[in-house]
Chains A and B, each alone.
Chain A
Amino acid sequence: MSSAARTESLRPAAEPAHARTTRIQRRANDIMSFASILAFCTVGGCMLLALLFWQVSGMTRMDSGSAQQLLERWHLLPKTSFDGAVLSAALLLALVAAMAPIVCLRRLGKALRAPSPLNLVVARCFSWLGHALLVNLIGGFAAGLVAATQIPQYQLSLGIGFLGTLTAAILAYAVAEMVREGARAAEENRAFV
């Protein structure tokens, strides 16, 4: 086989536009489903934690021994003396920080379902996802800082999760710029007949 024929055989066949769009829409549906599951788990987890603290604060007035036992089983507090208002604020902050990227992810999935996904709305969604990931980083760290004042066993750490979220935020910004550029090129292409 000649080198030109070999090169030609290696080049992928041009995919029809509607097949590409259907594939993107399927991925968009996957993103929305994933975001929904994440939202459910996040809200459920926060409610469970809130319920636990509420139960403990109620039990403390009546039976401090059982309350302490419950907390020790959950590895949360060595003592039952904690400021409920401060912990509630930390929990709320953590919830907002966790939900921000999830909401943006869902909006991104919705935007990608458009017939022409290379548009400025999708670019804006990627930008907002970047902002939300930074909010998640900063909010989560702040919530942890507050929680650490109430739960001595809680330790703050800057591990791979922190770096991963930061990387994801930077990538989201980069993809937003690429999509913006692609949208401009698509608009330019539409002006040609």
Chain B
Amino acid sequence: MPIIIELDVMLARRKMKSRDLAAAVGITEANLSLLKQGKVKGVRFSTLDAICTALACQPGDLLRHVDDEP
């Protein structure tokens, strides 16, 4: 998938556990895990807003685009 989600990196930087982030954002740990693995079809702006608020970061810190071309 061309969009890479670097949630693990931000969680490590902020020294926060996935369980705590899921509780703060209001999604299940399972969904957060799927998000970390990039196995979701999309992220709602409200969820992105909650994640950025909890981790005190910008959306650009979490999402990175890579080209699909070889």
Contact = CB atoms under 8 A, between A and B. Distances in A.
Interface of A: 188, 191-193
B40 interface: yes
Interface of B: 27, 31-32, 34-35, 40-44, 47
A166 to B, nearest CB: 41
Nearest to B30: A193
Contacts of B35: 193
Contacts of B42: 191-193
Given A188-B41, A193-B44, 8 more contacts: A191-B40, A191-B41, A192-B40, A192-B41, A193-B31, A193-B32, A193-B34, A193-B42
19 contacts: A188-B41, A191-B40, A191-B41, A191-B42, A192-B40, A192-B41, A192-B42, A192-B43, A192-B44, A193-B27, A193-B31, A193-B32, A193-B34, A193-B35, A193-B40, A193-B42, A193-B43, A193-B44, A193-B47
Nearest to A193: B31
Nearest to A187: B41
Contacts of A191: 40-42
Contacts of A193: 27, 31-32, 34-35, 40, 42-44, 47
Contacts of A188: 41
Contacts of B44: 192-193
Most-contacted residue by chain B among A188, A191, A192, A193 (CB, 10 A): A193
Most-contacted residue by chain A among B32, B34, B41 (CB, 10 A): B41
Contacts of B32: 193
Nearest to B40: A193
Nearest to A191: B41
Contacts of A192: 40-44
A188 B47 CA distance: 16
Contacts of B27: 193
A180 B43 CA distance: 24
Contacts of B41: 188, 191-192
B62 to A, nearest CB: 13
